[in-house]
């Protein structure tokens, strides 16, 4: 499988494009971008899955491991790695997850299952609508990047997200839930200008919105991305197929 160098110059890094730029403006963010999705082609469904190439950077390797794990999951050949007693003991003193994942609390989107990972592999932050709306969410991601040196941060949205659906509906919810849903509104407003399915567009816009907020409100993560210490990507999970695609 062909791999491409996805490292970026500072100029490229600062060069936002299309919808991402529009969303950045929508939330009043400066023009900073997450790392663009790698251009490697998703691994075709095959009986024999490729092994981890040796020439990948740590962020690339982490992303590769997640996508291969997802392929194992959807091809009904999961390995259920790192789930035995020995693994539990090995990581008791220290964790070194390969990725931090911000994803929805939805019970149908468990990261360890859909990426076929195990104990100590994923640092997961779950909140309805995978919203980077509150400081504790971003602080948790900062912990992974700064203290665990996690080489990959993934914002994972999903098909038929109830939180985004609620944000699409008229009226406002009360209490803390209302605040959370209100934080998703910019993605909904952005999607109103797009052709196609309104909910699907809003879900995908919301992934980018969370990425922009992470970069805007976390100079620490922004700096780590700029220096290539970690990469920040968006991904979309299909409830029906089980497949994860980078967005």
Give the binding site for Zn ion (CB under 5 A): 104, 106, 161, 163
Q: How near is the Cβ of 153 to Zn ion at its closest, in Å?
A: 18
Question: Measuring CA to CA, how many Å separate 162 from each of 108, 127, 195?
Answer: 11, 12, 21
104 versus 154: smaller Cβ distance to Zn ion: 104
65 versus 247: smaller Cβ distance to Zn ion: 247
88 versus 108: smaller Cβ distance to Zn ion: 108
How crowded is residue 112: how many other Cβ atoms within 10 Å of its Cβ? 18
Q: How near is the Cβ of 144 to Zn ion at its closest, in Å?
A: 21
Q: How near is the Cβ of 235 to Zn ion at its closest, in Å?
A: 13
* Residue given tokens 């023009």 in the structure block: 31
How crowded is residue 205: how many other Cβ atoms within 10 Å of its Cβ? 28
| DSSP 3-state of 232 | strand
DSSP state of 98: S
Q: How near is the Cβ of 164 to Zn ion at its closest, in Å?
A: 7
Q: How near is the Cβ of 104 to Zn ion at its closest, in Å?
A: 3
20 versus 131: smaller Cβ distance to Zn ion: 131
Q: How near is the Cβ of 129 to Zn ion at its closest, in Å?
A: 6
- 130 and 207 Cβ atoms separated by less than 8 Å: yes
What is the C-alpha separation between 137 and 31, in angstroms, rounded? 22
71 versus 156: smaller Cβ distance to Zn ion: 156
Question: Measuring CA to CA, how many Å separate 144 from each of 164, 216, 230?
Answer: 26, 17, 10
**Phi/psi at 97 (5° precision):** -65, 150
Q: How near is the Cβ of 238 to Zn ion at its closest, in Å?
A: 13
130 versus 222: smaller Cβ distance to Zn ion: 130
Pair of tokens at residue 195: 């052709």
From the list 31, 27, 18, 17, the residue with the least C-alpha distance to 187 is 27
16 versus 235: smaller Cβ distance to Zn ion: 235
Q: 79: left (phi > 0), else alpha (psi -120 to 50), else beta? A: alpha
State which H helix or E strand residue 201 sits in.
helix 198-217
């Amino acid at each position: 499988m062909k791999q491409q160098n996805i490292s970026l110059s500072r100029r490229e890094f600062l060069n936002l494009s299309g919808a991402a730029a529009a969303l950045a403006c929508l939330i009043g963010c400066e023009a900073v971008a997450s790392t663009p999705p790698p251009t490697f082609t998703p691994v075709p469904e095959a009986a024999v899955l490729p092994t981890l190439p040796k020439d990948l950077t740590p962020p690339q390797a982490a992303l590769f491991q997640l996508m291969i794990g997802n392929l194992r999951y959807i091809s009904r050949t999961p390995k259920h790695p790192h789930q035995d007693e020995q693994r539990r003991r090995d990581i008791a003193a220290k964790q070194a997850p390969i990725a931090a994942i911000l994803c929805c609390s939805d019970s149908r989107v468990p990261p360890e299952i859909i990426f076929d990972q195990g104990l100590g592999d994923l640092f997961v932050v779950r909140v309805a609508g995978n919203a980077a709306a509150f400081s504790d969410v971003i602080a948790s991601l900062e912990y992974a990047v700064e203290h665990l040196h996690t080489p990959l941060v993934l914002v994972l949205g999903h098909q038929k997200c109830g939180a985004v659906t609620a944000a699409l509906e008229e009226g406002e919810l009360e209490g803390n839930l209302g605040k959370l849903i209100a934080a998703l509104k910019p993605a909904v407003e952005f999607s109103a200008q797009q052709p196609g399915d309104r909910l699907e567009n809003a879900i995908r816009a919301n992934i980018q919105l969370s990425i922009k907020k992470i970069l805007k409100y976390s100079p620490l993560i922004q700096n780590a991305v700029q220096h290539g210490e970690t990469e920040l990507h968006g991904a979309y999970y299909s409830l029906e197929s089980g497949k994860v695609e980078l967005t």
